[in-house]
């Protein structure tokens, strides 16, 4: 059941029939994503803030973790890869680091628009708005020593 401003995710009537066996819900500022027991994801709300996952829906299988910034979502799949969607400047576009997003163990979201992924080898990959934590290149040498 959802409530609140319909245009900001308060109305899930278009996906209500899909919202069964929900294991986790994550939100952006104006959208929601539900992780179902079968590892799939259902989204609703403002499309630009992650409410429309249709472009990546076929990839959203066997999802293990789901995180959201104000404007985007990131999902870690069972094989350790990552799928992102939503506003590109809010972390929804991980194409610049997609090749590095392998063997991801955990993902964290900075509220306003960046993600960090902890890899199996304990290294860190970041993307999203550079000034909000999406660019860790200046401290990358220090991060590898943790």
What is the domain range of residue 91?
6-143
Q: Are 109 and 84 a contacting pair, CB within 8 Å?
A: no
Residue 1 maps to a domain = no
Domain CATH for 136? 2.130.10.30
E strands in 61-123: 63-68, 72-77, 82-86, 104-110, 114-119
Residue 30 maps to a domain = yes
Looking at residue 46, its pLDDT comes to 93
Looking at residue 145, its pLDDT comes to 54
Looking at residue 142, its pLDDT comes to 62
Instruction: Chunk the chain into consecutive blocks of 10 residues (it has 146) and report each block's average pLDDT, rounded to whole numbers.
Output: 82 91 94 97 95 96 96 97 95 95 96 93 90 72 60
Residue 35 maps to a domain = yes
Q: How many domains does one find in the chain?
A: 1
Looking at residue 2, its pLDDT comes to 84
Looking at residue 103, its pLDDT comes to 97
Residue 73 maps to a domain = yes
Residue 43 maps to a domain = yes
């Amino acid at each position: 059941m959802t409530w609140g401003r319909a245009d900001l995710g308060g109305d899930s009537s278009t996906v209500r029939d899909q919202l069964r066996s929900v294991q986790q819900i994550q939100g952006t500022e104006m959208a929601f994503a539900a992780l179902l027991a079968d590892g799939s994801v259902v989204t609703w709300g403002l499309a630009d803030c992650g409410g429309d996952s249709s472009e990546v829906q076929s990839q959203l299988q066997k999802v293990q973790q789901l995180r959201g910034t104000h404007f985007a979502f990131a999902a870690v799949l069972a094989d350790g890869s990552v799928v992102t969607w939503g506003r590109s400047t809010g972390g929804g576009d991980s194409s610049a680091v997609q090749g590095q997003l392998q063997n991801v163990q955990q993902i964290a979201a900075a509220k306003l628009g960046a993600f960090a992924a902890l890899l199996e080898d304990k290294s860190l990959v970041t993307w999203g708005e550079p000034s909000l934590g999406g660019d860790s290149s200046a401290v990358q040498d220090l991060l590898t020593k943790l």
